[in-house]
Amino acid sequence: MAPKKAKAKAAPAAPAAASAGRSKKKATSEAASASSPGGRGKRKAQPEAPQGGLLRWFTPTKAATTPTSDVQGTPAGSQGSGAGDAGESSAPPPVLASAPPTPAPEDGGASTAAASQAASEAAAEGAPQDADQDLRDDGICAGRQDFSEVWSSDKFGRGASDWLKEYAGVYASRLQRLRPPIEAHARAVWPQVSLLPAIREYRRRSWGTEVALVGILFKDMKSRPHVATLYRDAPVLEGAFLPEVRRTGPGCLCSDKDVMWLQDGTTRMELTMPAEWCAQLATGFVVAVRGWASHDGRFSVKHLCLAKIPPPPPLVLGQPQAGAADGHSPPLLALVSGLALGAAAPELAEARGRAVDFLLQSSQVQRLIVCGGLLAEEVTAGGLQAAAVRSALEEADELLAKLAAVLPVDVMPGPHDPTNLSLPQLPLHPYLFKRLRKCRSFKSVSNPYECSLRGGFRVLGHSGQPVEDLLRCTRLSSPIQALQCSLEGLHLAPTAPDSLPAQPRTGGDAFVIDAVPHILFSGGHDAEDHQWYAPTQSGLGTTCICVPAFHASPQLVLVNLHNPRDVHVPHFGRVGPGS
């Protein structure tokens, strides 16, 4: 009877096992359904729709920020530090010997797809061979000083973008970070005027009482086409650029009918100001205005001020190395943009050859920064095959590898280079360059780019898109004036993301200038221009530089690393129809 009892007790186990199997299958089916695009799984919660109007820029919560540390110069032979993201450690930053591999960009159009195919083919060829071992050294000639150690900021890199977020946090962070220096300057220049903590507080004052307010500007440009209309009328396959971005030309979006508004997290108010003031300003600037409110609800502006710019720290100059030039010649930083490799222009190729020979023979040039425009625009235009892009990349690989063998080279992407379109642009993928990626002195960097060289020499700049867009939204007379206006506003791209494509950032606004640089550059312009800007009488200041596109004006910009006011612009011929 014992075996029968055991059998009776074991019988119910079969249904339990079957039930467990069914539960497992059900769980697997639910997981597959949830993971599939057309499944019945719960969808991720989407952000709420904006409330409409300009108040969609701001959120009631306060963006968290932490103070940043300034760059302090260090004696020669030690590593300098620089200003970077909030919450950065005060320990000395590591030396970046080579560019880390960067993932494929998320947007960029047909040129990006062609470049990705070229990168895949290059990656399939395997690891670098020992035949090119000579390209893996530090790339510093004996006649050059060691400026290879460089600290570069990573706040423009990947990892801080969240496309599910609205742009409210960007504008709120910009206002929160720039409000303290602007309020301090306003109190200094207007000591007898009451500075209100919020715009809505002006309603509690008597009409006609003079007060000061701080907020962010919004320019209602009547000549700006409606974005929905542009996308509706644009062809399906239009290329990598958005319809509005292709509207170029200074002042093309600006008119005499534009209306300026001031807004913060509480409310907004229409400003009444002279037309010439409105023509010089654009959406995104954080300002302080002085005036009074009228009975019709407008605010009559009497004066306007931005933040007071602190000077950059003094440079720490070291002793020249033995054998470096003649022992008295200062080290130089070279800037170039718009090389337009792949373009069918013999005179341009000859000018590039002369510029390369100059860089190889000059022992004073310690570093080269390519400020965008590496490939020709016609090469990366939408609709071309990957073979055209690959041929241009091979030409760029050969030219830059020759330079990286003797001096450090930093390459930034531009508006027509194979990477994402919106700012910040990710670095060009190292696998696009078969030989160049083996050079330890080559570094593919983001756009914008910020670094600090030895001696505390701060460098900050972009490939020109913010300056071009600011010229479209204002009536500023020249690119150098627009670049200086950005410096005075302590913001690299004030019109982003309103009229300049930019990514929503989880860490706030990455384009706020936290540390004032010694040189501020912008690439891809028709002609070279530079201007010294000194906010105080201390002799310290910033050199604003508009780097010319090499295919339009074959020039290099050489900056003295011991004196940023000392700028030289050698010419290498003429290109174009009149050459």
Which pLDDT tens digit goes with each residue over 339-353?
999 888 899 999 999
- Phi and psi at residue 454, in whole multiples of 5°? -60, 145
Is the per-residue pLDDT at 55 higher than 70?
no
Is the per-residue pLDDT at 69 higher than 50?
no
Closest CA to 496 of 67, 86, 161, 46: 161
CA–CA gap between residue 133 and residue 130 (Å, rounded): 5
- State residue 575's pLDDT score: 72
Is the per-residue pLDDT at 117 higher than 80?
no
Is the per-residue pLDDT at 171 higher than 80?
yes
Is the per-residue pLDDT at 143 higher than 70?
no
Is the per-residue pLDDT at 226 higher than 80?
no
Q: Is 489 helix (H, G, I), strand (E, B) or coil?
A: coil
Mean per-residue pLDDT, 174-197:
94
- State residue 495's pLDDT score: 95
Mean per-residue pLDDT, 320-347:
78
Q: Helices 479-488 and 465-473, interaxial angle, to 10°?
A: 100
Average pLDDT, the chain: 75
Is the per-residue pLDDT at 1 higher than 60?
no
Is the per-residue pLDDT at 182 higher than 50?
yes
- State residue 130's pLDDT score: 37
Instruction: Output the CA torsion sign for 332, 336, 342, 343.
Output: negative
Instruction: Output the CA torsion sign for 409, 415, 419, 424.
Output: positive
DSSP strand pairing (299-305 vs 449-453)? unpaired
Q: How confident is the model at residue 213 (pLDDT cuts 50, 70, 90)?
A: very high
The pTM score is: 0.73
Closest CA to 377 of 550, 543, 147, 516: 550
Hey, what are 126's tokens?
């395997």
Q: Which amino acid is at 322?
A: A
Domains of the chain, first to last? 151-161+329-568 (3.60.21.50), 167-224+251-305 (2.40.50.430)
CA–CA gap between residue 486 and residue 480 (Å, rounded): 10
3-class DSSP string for 267-336: CEEEEECCHHHHHHCCCCCEEEEEEEECCCCCEEEEEEECCCCCCCCCCCCCCCCCCCCCCCCCCEEEEE
- Contact between 498 and 283 (Cβ < 8 Å): yes
CA–CA gap between residue 198 and residue 266 (Å, rounded): 7
The single-letter DSSP state of residue 364 is S
Cα-based angle 509, 525, 402 (whole degrees, multiple of 5): 95
Is the per-residue pLDDT at 252 higher than 90?
no
Helix count (H) and strand count (E) of the chain? 10, 18
- State residue 201's pLDDT score: 87
Whether the link from the prior residue into 191 is cis, omega within 30° of 0, is no
- State residue 368's pLDDT score: 97
Q: For residues 12 and 57, which has the higher predicted lDDT (pLDDT)?
A: 12
Hey, what are 498's tokens?
């309103």
Mean per-residue pLDDT, 401-418:
93
The separation between CA 387 and the C-alpha centre of its own chain, rounded to angstroms, equals 29
- State residue 479's pLDDT score: 96
Mean per-residue pLDDT, 495-517:
89
Whole-number percent of the chain with pLDDT over 70? 66
Is the per-residue pLDDT at 564 higher than 50?
yes
- State residue 100's pLDDT score: 37
- State residue 81's pLDDT score: 34
Closest CA to 287 of 303, 270, 310: 303
CA–CA gap between residue 346 and residue 168 (Å, rounded): 49
CA atoms within 13 A of residue 560's CA, in its CB half-sphere:
12
Q: How confident is the model at residue 569 (pLDDT cuts 50, 70, 90)?
A: very high
Q: How confident is the model at residue 147 (pLDDT cuts 50, 70, 90)?
A: low
- State residue 241's pLDDT score: 53
Whether the link from the prior residue into 448 is cis, omega within 30° of 0, is yes
Cα-based angle 441, 544, 530 (whole degrees, multiple of 5): 100
Is the per-residue pLDDT at 65 higher than 80?
no
Closest CA to 73 of 470, 546, 540, 427: 540
Per residue in 439-466, pLDDT (tens digit) is: 889 999 999 999 999 889 999 999 999 9
- State residue 238's pLDDT score: 47
Whole-number percent of the chain with pLDDT over 90? 45
